[in-house]
Amino acid sequence: MMRQYELVERVQSYNPQTDEALLNKAYVYAMQKHGTQKRASGDPYFAHPLEVAAILTDLKLDDASIAVALLHDTIEDTDATRAEIDQLFGAEIGSIVDGLTKIDRLQLVTREEAQAENLRKLLLAISADVRVLLVKLADRLHNMRTLDAMRDDKRKRISKETMDIYAPLAGRMGMQEMRQELEDLSFKHLQPEHYQAITARLGEMKADFAGTIKTITAELLSKLKGAGIDAHVKSRVKSPWSIYTKIERKQIALEQLSDMIGFRVIVPTLEDCYRALGIVHTNWKVVPGRFKDYISVPKHNDYRSIHTTIVGVGRQRAELQIRTEEMHRIAELGIAAHALYKEGATDIHKIENESKAFAWLRQTIGQLTNGSSPEDFLEYTRLELFQDQVFCFTPKGRLIAMPRGATPIDFAYALHTDIGDTTVGAKINGQIVPLVTHLKSGDEVEIIRDQNHLPPSNWETIAATGKARAAIRRAVRQQTVQRHYLHGDHLLAMLLEREEVSLTDSEFRQLAEAAGLPGKRELLVALGEGRVSAQDLDDKLLEVKGVKRRRKKIDLPAPDKAEGWFALRDTEVFRFRVPGNPNAGPEAKAALEELSFNTGCAVSIEGVVPGDRMVAIMRKGAGITIYPIHSDALGDLYDSDVAWIDVRWDIVGREDDLHPVAIALQSQNKPGGLAQISSVIAHCRANIHNLVMRMESPDFHKITFLIEVRDLGQLTDVLNSLKMQAGVSDVRRATIAEAEQVMTLDWKAPAKQEVPA
C-alpha cells in the first residue's frame, strides 16, 4: 500500500506548488474513517481510495481531485457526513464527494431504477464539476482491476454496468486508454472463455508479428526522416474486446482479421501530419475505403487524427494513425488532458471552453434529465453514449455527427425537435429515400416537412438516438392526451345532450371534484381515457345538477330462463341470448354483466377493434349491436327507444385475433401507386382482405380497403404511415357499411385453422 509521503511525491513530480497539508490531512482522515474495514479480497479498505488517488496522479490532476479520491467513499461507507467534509476540507471538495455518493437511502423498487437514479445524480454532479467524472472513472477502473474477489453474479452485474455505461462514457470523453482497459476487464468477466481464447491467440500472434512490426517501423522512420520529418512511431496490437467485436460483426475467424497491427505516427506539427500522409500513400499501397480525416472533422470527444490502412511486409495490412503530440495526448487522456497543469495551476472551469466533449455532455445531461421515468433515463443515456459515429451534412453544409445506425428521423431531431416532429420524408444526396434508411458518413441529408404532421408511435423503434426517442415519446404522449381530451369532450357533450342539461364553469369544477380530479381538462382526459366511466360521470352529473334520473322504459316480456333473460341492474331488464345454453346458467349471467366478447354471444359488431371505446345498443326484439363511440350512427339513436349499455374489451388469450376495419383514401394516379400503398400496409403487419379502386378523375383514385388488424394501435400506425406517403391524401377510417357500399362483401371473421396434432 502506498505511503503518505509517496503520494505527496507523486503529485509534486508534476505540480511543485502542491498543497502538501491538504493531501496529508485527507490521507489521515480517510485512513482513520475506514479504520479496520476490509474489502472482499481481505485487503484493508483504505487501499482502494489510495489506488484511486494514484490513478489520478497519472492523469496529473489538481490537489482537490486527489483529496476527493482519498475521501470519495467516506460519506457512503463510514460515519462521515457532508457537513464534516465541508468543515474540514471546504465546500468545493465536499460537493464533489457528495456527487460521488450513491443514493442508497431512497426506496427504489428495482435495481435498474436504483441504477438509473444513481446515474442521474452522478451526471448532474458531473455537469457542475468535471472532476466528479474523472474520480468516478478512476474509482470504477480500480474496482474492475480487483473484481476477482467478488461473487460470480456480482462480477457479471458490475462488468455489464461498466460495459454499458462507464466504458462508453470514458470513450465519449476521449479517454481511450481508460475506455479500452474498462472494456477488456468487463469482457474478461462477462465472457471468460472467449477472453481466454483471444488473449492466448494474441500472445502467439504477437510473436509472429514481431518481425513485421520491426520492419514496418524502420521503413516508416526512414521514409519520414528522409523527408525531413522528425517522427516517433509506436506499434500496437488490437485489444481483446475490439478483436471480439470485429469478429462478431463480420462473422469471421480470428485468423481472418487482416488489420491486427496498428501504428501511431507522432509528428511535430499539423502540416507534418499531411506531409507524412503523402509519404505513406506514395510508398505503400493503401486499402480503399479505409481513409478517415478526423483532423479536418474531429469527433465529438475532441479526438483528432488521420487514419489510413496500408499493405505492408508480407501483404500484412497495418492501420496507421498520424497525429501531433498534442493530438496524441488528447486521444489518450481525453477530457483529462485539458486539466493538465500549465505553469503550476489549472482552471477546471476552462475545460468547458476547451473541450467539445464536455460541452456535449452538459447538453446531453440537459436532455436526459427530462426523462419520464428512471428506466427511460437509463435507456436514453446508453443510446447517447454509443461510441461509433457517422458524419452527415445539411444542404447548407452544417456538420451533424450521428451514431452508427442513425436514420433521417434521428438527423431531423438532431437539428431541432420541431423539425423532427414535422418530418414526413427525406432526401439523401438528392434522392428521396425511406425514413428507415441508415445514414453513412458524407451523406447530405435534406428533411421534408409538413407542419400538420405529428410523429407516429412506431418511429420510436426506428430512431437510434436517445434525443429522438425521447422527443417521439413526448409527442406521442401529448397526442394521446389530446385525443383522450377530445374523446372525453365528445362523450360529455353526449351526456349533457341526453340529460338535456348544461354546465357552468363552477358546476364543471364541482363535477371534476366529485370525480376526484383537479379541473375540467383533467376530467375530460380521464373520461376519454376510460379512467372515469361515462355511467359514473352521468350519475355525478345529475347529482351536481340536482336532477333525478329519467329512465327509459322498455316494454319487455317477463323474464324467461329458457330464453336467457336477466336483470343487469335493479331497474333495467335486458334480453341476452347465449347460443347453445338455453338454460342460461350463472356463467351466462356473469357474461351478461360484463358484456365480454369471450362469451360467444350473438351480437353484431360495427367495425370495432380492440382499443376503441364502445357502446352497445339494444333494440327491442333486434338483439345487441356494438358501435365505436365515434360512430355517426349513434347520432340517430339519442331519442330512440333503445337501451345504451357500456361495454369493454376482454381479449385475454386472444390478443393475436384479427378484426376487420375499413380505410378510405385518395391517391394520385401514378405507376406503382397501389403497390406503394400496399407495401406500407404490409410494413405495418396488417393484412389486406379486400380493396376496391375507383377513378374519381384522371389524376386521382379513391381506394377503399378492408384490412385486418389486431388493435387500435396497429390501425393508428397504418393510418399515420399512409398519411406520410407522397401522393396520398384524405386518409381516414371508414365504417364497414361504407365499405359495403363500394364492394360486395359478406364479411366473416377468418376461421381459425386447426393444426393437426
d(CA 566, CA 576): 8
Phi, psi of 696 (to 5 degrees): -90, -25
Instruction: State the alpha helices, DSSP H only, in 442-545.
Output: 459-462, 466-499, 505-514, 520-529, 534-545
Spatial separation of the C-alpha atoms in residues 757 and 736, rounded to whole Å: 37
119 in Cβ contact with 165 (< 8 Å) = yes
* Cβ-Cβ contacts under 8 Å for 456 (sequence gap 6 or more): 476, 716, 717, 720, 721, 724
Helix, strand, coil share of the chain (percent; to 5): 50, 15, 30
Active-site option among 76, 208, 594, 699: 76
Classify residue 359 by burial, with Cβ atoms within 10 Å: 0-12, 13-18, 19+: middle
Q: Show contacts of 651-656: CB within 8 Å, 24+ apart.
A: 651/597, 651/598, 651/610, 652/598, 653/598, 654/598, 655/710, 656/710
Annotate 618-631 with three-state secondary structure.
Answer: EECCCEEEEEECCC
- Catalytic residue, chosen from 19, 43, 58, 77, is 77
| CA distance linking residue 381 with residue 467, whole number of Å | 10
State the cell numbers at 366: 440537459
432: β partners: 427
Cα separation of 727 and 670, whole Å? 9
Contact in structure between 189 and 147 (CB atoms under 8 Å) = yes
Residue 538, CB-side half-sphere exposure with 13 Å CA sphere = 18
Nearest alpha-carbon partner for 384 in 395, 399, 368:
368
Long-range contacts of residues 28-37, Cβ cutoff 8 Å, at least 24 apart: 28/4, 29/70, 29/71, 29/74, 29/88, 30/70, 30/71, 30/74, 33/74, 33/78, 33/79, 33/80, 34/73, 34/74, 34/77, 34/78, 35/78, 37/77, 37/78
Known catalytic membership, residue 76: yes
DSSP 257: -
Distance CA 139, CA 639 (A): 74
Q: Which amino acid is at 41?
A: S
Beta strands in 530-587 (DSSP E): 565-569, 572-575
Do residues 481 and 372 touch, judged by C-beta distance below 8 A? no
Going by C-alpha positions, the residue among 190, 189, 187 that lies closest to residue 244 is 187
Sign of CA dihedral 737, 742, 744, 745: negative
Buried-state track 625-661, b at ≥16 Cβ within 10 A, e below 16? bbbbbebeebeebeeeebbbbebebebeeeeeebbbb
Q: At what angle do helices 131-145 and 152-161 cross, to 10 degrees?
A: 150
Give the CA dihedral 573, 578, 584, 586, nearest 10 degrees: -80
| Contact status, residue 224 vs residue 231, Cβ threshold 8 Å | yes
| Alpha-carbon distance values, 630 to 66, 192, 483, 606, 607 (Å) | 67, 59, 12, 11, 11
Which triple of cell numbers denotes residue 135? 474520480
- Residue 429's region, left for phi above 0, alpha for psi from -120 to 50, else beta, is left
The answer to whether residue 354 is catalytic is no
Q: Known catalytic residues?
A: 76-77
